[in-house]
């Protein structure tokens, strides 16, 4: 069996997607291992999941740097130290800059809680509900230099119910989103993948 793909996960919040990846990666046949978890703020619950799993963590705050470019460089160094094959933004609420993309472009993935290209940005479920769509969902994609514009790896749909609130829809999406993330990170790691234009081909 080839050695597992090294994954660094970036988070800003509760880290339920991270927790799902950590649980999946306990299985030696999963194909990927989380080698470090980084955050843009201290005190987020996701860092505790990593600590519980005895995985190294780091925090790189924008405010600790003179400007965004310096932060982007520092984040790139911190992630590089763990020599990842894949970097995954799992609720990481920062756009990375050109240094990060020069190092990890093409292998930096993000999971977004809307069916892109609809509803990019940080309020996917709220925007979907306000628009009145009947189907919502989550998108796993390869990050490029736009906002939620990269090549799509996978999408999963959930219904929008008449009595949904932002909270209930967000929760329904997150359940499907976590399962998708776990399934596809494993598949990418085990089967390999390539980009043809905007199309992601697995295997
Ligand atoms: C996910 O739904 C992601 O799409 C959004 O933030 C959420 C992160 O949740 N950007 P968690 O921190 O993994 O629980």
12 CA closest ligand 1 atom index: 12
Single residue among 70, 104, 138 that ends a domain in this structure:
104
Q: Which of 39, 73, 104 is the last residue of a domain?
A: 104
Q: Examine the domain organization and report whether 97 and 150 are in the same domain.
A: no
| 58 plus 14 within the same structural domain | yes
Query: At 121, which CATH number?
Result: 3.40.50.170
Same domain? For 116 and 167 the reply is: yes
Ligand 1, pocket-test mutation among 9, 12, 13, 48, most atoms within 8 A of CB: 13
Residue 109, SS3? strand
Q: Cα(72) to centroid of ligand 1, in Å?
A: 21
Q: What is the CA radius of gyration of the chain?
A: 16
112 given a catalytic annotation: yes
Ligand 1 atom with the shortest distance to the CA of 44:
12
Around ligand 1, the residues with Cβ closer than 6 Å are: 11, 13-18, 46, 90-91, 111-113, 174, 177
* Contact of 186 with 24, CB cutoff 8 Å: yes
Q: Which token pair is 198? A: 């905007």
Task: Provide the number of structural domains found in the chain.
Answer: 2
Task: Give tens-digit pLDDT for 36-46.
Answer: 999 999 999 99
Which domain covers residue 3, as residue numbers? 1-104
Task: Please tell me whether residues 125 and 161 are part of one structural domain.
Answer: yes
pTM of the full predicted structure? 0.97
Q: How many angstroms does the Cα of residue 51 sit away from the middle of ligand 1?
A: 19
Mean pLDDT across the stretch 2-21? 94
Kindly list the strands in the beta sheet with 135-142, ordered across the sheet, starting from the edge strand earlier in the chain.
57-59, 32-39, 5-11, 86-89, 108-112, 135-142, 152-159
pLDDT > 90? residue 138: yes
Residues 154-176: tens digit of each pLDDT: 999 999 999 999 999 999 999 99
């Amino acid at each position: 069996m080839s050695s597992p793909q090294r994954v660094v996960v970036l988070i800003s919040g509760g880290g339920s997607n991270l927790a799902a990846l950590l649980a999946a990666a306990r299985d030696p046949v999963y194909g990927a291992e989380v080698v470090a978890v980084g955050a843009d703020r201290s005190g987020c619950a996701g860092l505790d999941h990593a600590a519980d799993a005895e995985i190294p963590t780091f925090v790189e705050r924008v405010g600790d740097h003179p400007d965004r470019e310096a932060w982007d460089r520092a984040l790139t160094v911190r992630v590089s130290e763990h020599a990842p094959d894949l970097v995954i933004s799992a609720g990481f609420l920062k756009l990375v800059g050109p240094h990060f993309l020069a190092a990890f472009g093409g292998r930096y993935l993000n999971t977004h809680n809307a069916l892109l290209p609809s509803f990019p940005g940080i309020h996917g479920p709220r925007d979907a509900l306000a628009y009145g769509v009947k189907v919502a969902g989550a998108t796993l994609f390869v990050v490029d230099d736009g906002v939620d514009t990269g090549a799509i790896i996978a999408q999963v749909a959930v219904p929008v119910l008449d009595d949904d609130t932002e909270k209930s829809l967000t929760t329904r999406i997150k359940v499907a989103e976590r399962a998708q993330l776990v399934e596809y990170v494993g598949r990418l790691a085990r089967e390999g993948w390539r980009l043809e234009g905007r199309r992601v081909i697995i295997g």
